[in-house]
Structure 1
Amino acid sequence: MPHTQVIEQLKASLQTAYRQAIDADARLDELKKAGHVKFDTIFSTSEGFTTKSNRFTPYVQELAADMEGFIQDPDTFAQSLESYIPKLGLLLQTMQAFKSNAK
């Protein structure tokens, strides 16, 4: 599969993550107002993210910046994907679990 198709699929996944992050962050805001949010970060640095936030949107923004970086530098494309794909998967899985459990 050419890089352009991979990039398009990654962009579509990132757009999905962004929409889900907006919904998840809104739900987190509701939970915080009710006094239920008592954590500082969603992901630890050992999970690959440099962002430290108690909301999902900043993590999506980190992934968008990462993607922009490997699009601009095709020489590091394969190596960048090795760290990018697990982070994207973890983000999507975590938001799905949150959505399922926060009902």
Structure 2
Amino acid sequence: MTNQELHEQLTAQLKNFYHPAIEADEFLTLLSKRKMSKFSAIFAADSGFKANSNRFLPYMEELVEDQQALPKTNEEGFDVAIAAFLGKLQQMHNVLGQFSEQLKEKKSAPSNIGE
């Protein structure tokens, strides 16, 4: 895989996360307004993310910044940088996927939380 192909694949993956992250953040804002959200961060301090937020978009912004920095990384540091990026990308995939699945269940269940 060429660097260009890798860059395009990572860009596509990040784009796939963007709308679910926005929907998740909107739901988290709703829960917060209703005092139903009591956590301080999406990811633990040892997750590899520099961001520390109870919303997904700051983590998405960090992933985009990391992805944009990859082509500028020298050869010696590239393996470390791509491994760190892919680790964070996998965590986002797992957590956002679980959250999105729960959000779908909440929206389909007769409840007034999402209204």
TM over 0.5: yes
1:56-78: per-residue Cα shift (whole Å, max 9, x none)?
00000001111111122252333
RMSD: 1.3
Q: Give the structure 2 partner of residue 82 of structure 1.
A: 83
Moved more, 46-55 or 29-38: 29-38
d(CA) in 2 for partners of 1:95 and 1:29? Answer: 15
Matched, 1:44 2:41: no
Matched, 1:57 2:57: yes
Unaligned runs of 5+ in 1: none
Q: Give the structure 2 partner of residue 99 of structure 1.
A: 100
Other structure's SS at 2:101 match? helix
Q: Which of structures 1 and 2 has the bigger CA Rg?
A: 2
2:65 maps to amino acid:
A
Q: Give the structure 2 partner of residue 9 of structure 1.
A: 9
Could you list the runs of 4 or more consecutive aligned residues of structure 1 that deviate by over 3 angstroms after TM superposition?
none
**How many residues get paired?**
103
d(CA) in 2 for partners of 1:33 and 1:79? Answer: 40
Other structure's SS at 2:81 match? helix
Q: Please report the TM-score for the alignment, with normalisation by the length of structure 2.
A: 0.82
2:18 maps to amino acid:
Y
d(CA) in 2 for partners of 1:2 and 1:74? Answer: 16
1:32 maps to amino acid:
S
Identity of aligned residues (%): 33
Unaligned runs of 5+ in 2: 107-115
